[in-house]
């Protein structure tokens, strides 16, 4: 997948080194449920498990020069109900944040989900207080479905998650045809 400024490719094993580095950075993990004590071996185990699971997809976000800058993880791919969940999406390097790469990546992966996977419904969730995710989801037309209280646990503390969805028809009205 390719857009003006980024390429999204399938994640390869070698990306695990970067993910392990990125996913101990507090500015990356602040609004994710992963614990701060993750190590390279945890990332590798997670990568291998996901690769073997047909309901999960892993992608790496790269600049046009193919330098990795972020990650997208999709789960709950349900081909019977044409739905999936964008479970994790981030731009790792602080210098690449607030440049529109995250929005560009989300637009590109939504196009892939709706056009290539023929998905009817895409869901995602974000931590209470994640203003960047909140603003981006609203901008792209996601509908708020509710608040899951104490839905995930990170470093021994429970957190609420905002639940959102985008339907195929909404995607075409809000994003695709613009």
CA distances from 159 to 91, 102, 147, 150 (A): 22, 23, 10, 5
CA–CA gap between residue 153 and residue 132 (Å, rounded): 21
**DSSP code of 96?**
G
Residue 62: the pLDDT is 96
**CATH T-level topology, domain 6-176:** Aminopeptidase (3.40.630)
Distance of CA 5 to the CA centre of its chain: 18
Out of 30-44, 104-118, 120-134, pick the least confident.
30-44
Contact indicator for 12, 119 with CB cutoff of 8 Å:
no
pLDDT digits (tens, 9 = 90+) for 133-178: 899 999 999 999 999 999 988 888 898 999 999 999 999 987 776 5
pLDDT digits (tens, 9 = 90+) for 61-97: 999 999 999 999 999 999 999 999 999 898 998 788 8
CA–CA gap between residue 153 and residue 138 (Å, rounded): 25
> Where are the alpha helices (H) located in the chain, listed in sequence order?
15-22, 26-29, 40-52, 101-111, 131-139, 168-171
pLDDT digits (tens, 9 = 90+) for 7-58: 999 999 999 999 988 888 767 666 666 666 778 998 899 999 999 999 999 9
Out of 35-39, 101-105, 120-124, 169-173, pick the least confident.
35-39
Residue 15: the pLDDT is 95
Positive/negative CA dihedral, 116, 14, 45, 126: negative
């Amino acid at each position: 997948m390719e857009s003006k400024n980024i390429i999204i490719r399938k994640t390869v094993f070698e990306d695990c080194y970067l993910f392990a580095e990125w996913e101990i950075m507090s500015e990356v993990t602040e609004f994710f449920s992963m614990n701060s004590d993750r190590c390279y071996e945890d990332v590798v185990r997670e990568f291998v498990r996901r690769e073997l699971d047909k309901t999960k997809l892993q992608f790496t976000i790269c600049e046009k020069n193919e330098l990795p800058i972020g990650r997208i993880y999709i789960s709950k791919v349900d081909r019977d109900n044409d739905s999936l969940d964008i479970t994790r999406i981030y731009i790792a390097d602080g210098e690449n944040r607030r440049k529109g790469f995250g929005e560009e990546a989300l637009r590109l992966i939504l196009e892939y989900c709706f056009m290539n996977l023929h998905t009817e419904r895409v869901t995602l969730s974000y931590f209470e207080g994640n203003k960047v995710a909140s603003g981006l989801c609203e901008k792209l037309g996601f509908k708020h479905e509710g608040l899951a209280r104490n839905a995930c646990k990170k470093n021994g503390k429970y957190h609420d998650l905002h639940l959102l969805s985008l339907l195929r028809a909404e995607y075409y009205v809000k994003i695709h045809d613009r």
